[in-house]
Amino acid sequence: MPHSIVPPYLLLRLADTDRAGFERAARAARNTLMARGFRDSARLSLSVDADDNLVVELERRTPVRTIGDAEGTEELPGRIVRREGDDPTGDVAVDEAYDGLGATHALFRDAFGRDSIDDAGLPLEATVHFGELYDNAFWDGERMVFGDGDGEVFGRFTASLSVIGHELAHGVTQYAAALEYRGQSGALNESVSDVFGALVEQYARRQGAEEASWLIGEGLFTDAVSGRALRSMAEPGSAYDDDVLGKDPQPGHMRDYIETAEDNGGVHLNSGIPNRAFHLVATTLGGNAWERAGVIWYDTLVGGLAADTDFARFARATLDAADSRFGEGSPESAAVRNAWAAVGVPIG
């Protein structure tokens, strides 16, 4: 990929200046933009219409997916059973994983202009049927891995689109911010994944903020469990209340922050606080959460966060992102400020 000195926005402007008398320069700019190397590096689809006007579109990059089957072992990547463009296999876990990778790719591409997990077209790989009675799904730094569950408490982990989006979002964080997986930075790492996991599901279903469930892991529990999901972003602490599993322990406000050495300092527990903040921003603004609230969180994630960012610094960064994107004093900025206040996080 060429690293050109003249940026595409300058050439795009020059390409439209022939009416000002720079006909040759305009033609040269068009030729440069439409040359293969530059077009590929700029991710632009360009053409000239019948009236010799330049038509510019952002290329819709397609995912490159590969699904492996571990066949009950812990060997990765397993036997390759479906590649990009292949027909469905009939194995529900394989096909759910394939579709979930595609849905996640689509959200990041369409809503945020990101080219796969690393923003450089990284192929998306997953392995299903991992281990024996394996009750989890995870991103291992290179691929998604899904267990089939135990059949009594947990079903298969490919059944929840929010889980697939959540785990792949860990990959986005890995490339964009590398938030330390401990304490408040670790809770933010988890929360960011919940945010984008929820948005993947909402984007795929074309659900607005008010009609979405805001549940992470909905459909994972069997009917034997008194619970709706692993976590609720709208009401942290309400996702389940079961005789065996106990009650969902997530707090939704800093007054209930859990100080613990377990769970890497409570990364899955205290993530409920920033989760609720995002939900409040999204529902205050209304409409499609990926269009405003999601953009603010994405801009924050890719905007240069320190690895040890805590809640207060993250809150400040979201407000800065809202100000930058929508303007100081905008409804978006007000929603961000009020949401963090509502969960007891000072904007540092």
Cβ count near 58 (within 10 Å):
12
Looking at residue 207, its amino acid is Q
Alpha-carbon span 259 to 224, nearest angstrom: 31
- Taking CA atoms, 99 is separated from 26, 209, 253, 279, 294, in Å, by 43, 23, 35, 25, 22
Distance CA 217, CA 228 (A): 8
Residue 201 is a catalytic residue? no
Q: Pick the catalytic residue: 129, 170, 268, 279?
A: 268
Tokens of 215: 């549940």
Q: Dihedrals φ, ψ of 330, to 5°?
A: -70, 160
Hey, which residues does 145 pair with through a beta bridge? 127, 138
Q: Which of 167, 180, 218, 332 is catalytic?
A: 167
C-beta of residue 165 within 8 angstroms of C-beta of residue 102:
no
3 is catalytic: no
Residues 297, 196: Cα–Cα separation, whole Å: 9
Question: Smallest Cα–Cα separation from 295: which of 332, 330, 252?
Answer: 332
| Pairing relationship of beta strands 65-69 and 79-83 according to DSSP bridges | antiparallel
Catalytic residues: 167, 268
